[in-house]
Amino acid sequence: MAPVATPFFFYFLSGLALVSGILVITRKNPVHSALALILTLLALAGIYLMLYAPFVAGVQIILYAGGIMVLFLFVIMLVDVGRAEKERQFNKQWLVAIAATLGLGILFVKVFTASKTLAELLKRPLAQLPETSNTQQVGFSLYGQYMLAFEIASLLLLVAIVGAVVMAKKRI
């Protein structure tokens, strides 16, 4: 089967993710921002698919694009959009922004220089990627090797749900 991981698709998807990511922070209307964010998430799902991780791509679409973003839109639509649009977009956080950008930039440069040596490491032939049994491999990892971490994460989510209900309701 022909590989889909061609450079064209990579540049197309990452370009889409970047452009829509920029749209998320530049649109004044929060609904437009949310829609751009959905596009970013879909582009990322495409990149996961290119990395031979179809299960992660499917879950990304179901949970983020189909579930969480719908709830985002649900909440945004209840907010008075007209007032939010009149407010100033930027809150004079230049100092924080520059610091964050510098930190992230240094991290990127470090990763890039480290990957030079990593590239030599990767010249060895890779193990055959388990594309067809991808979902099963994810299952084995989650319920085998990383069982404890997985259960702790699910417990954390349960606590978060209970906490949200307690905070939202005066009388239960």
Partner 1 sequence: MLDYITSYLKSDATPGAAGNMLWAFIYIMLIFLGLSIAVIAMNWLERKILAHMQVRLGPMRVGPHGLLQPIADAIKLLIKEDIMPAEADKAVFWMAPLIVVTAAFTTFIVVPFGPQHAVTDMNIGILFMLGVSSLGVLGIVMAGWASNSHYPLIGALRSSAQMVSYEVAMGLAVVSAVLMTSLHGAGIYATGGSNGMGTLSMIEIVKAQQEQQTWFAFKFFPLGLMAMFVFAVAMVAETNRAPFDLPEAESELTAGFHTEYSGFRWSLFFLAEYSAMIAVSSILVTLWLGGWLRPFPNLLNGPTWDLVFSLFPGLMFLALAGLTFYSTARMPKMRYFRVQTLGLAGFGALLGLIGLILFIPPVRDRIQDIYWFVAKVAVFMYLYIWYRGTFPRYRFDQLMKVGWKVLLPMGLGVLIVTAIVGVL
Positions that interact with partner 1 (CB under 8 A): 1-2, 29, 31-32, 35, 38, 54-55, 57-59, 61-62, 65-67, 69-71, 73-74, 77-78, 131-136
> Which positions ≥6 away from 31 have C-beta within 8 Å?
73, 76, 77, 81
Cβ contacts of 42 within 8 Å, gap of 6 or more: 61, 65
Output the smallest distance, CB 57 to partner 1, in A.
8
Q: Judged by CB, which is closer to partner 1: 50, or 69?
A: 69
Q: Toward partner 1, which CB reaches closer, 11 or 140? A: 140
In whole angstroms, the minimum distance from the beta carbon of 151 to partner 1 comes to: 16
In whole angstroms, what is the distance from residue 121 CA to residue 165 CA? 50
> 6 vs 29, which CB is nearer to partner 1?
29
Taking the complex as a whole, the smallest distance from the CB of residue 54 to partner 1 amounts, in Å, to 5
Minimum distance, C-beta of residue 112 to partner 1, in the bound complex (Å): 32
Pick 3 or 7: Cβ nearer partner 1: 3
Q: Least distance to partner 1 from the beta carbon of 141, Å? A: 15
As given in the structure block, the two tokens for residue 68 are 């969480």
Q: Are 21 and 11 in contact (CB under 8 A)?
A: no
Q: How far apart are CA 123 and CA 130, in angstroms?
A: 19
Of 71 and 167, the one with the shorter C-beta distance to partner 1 is 71
Pair of tokens at residue 75: 């909440």
Mutual angle of helices 69-78 and 30-50, in 10-degree steps: 180
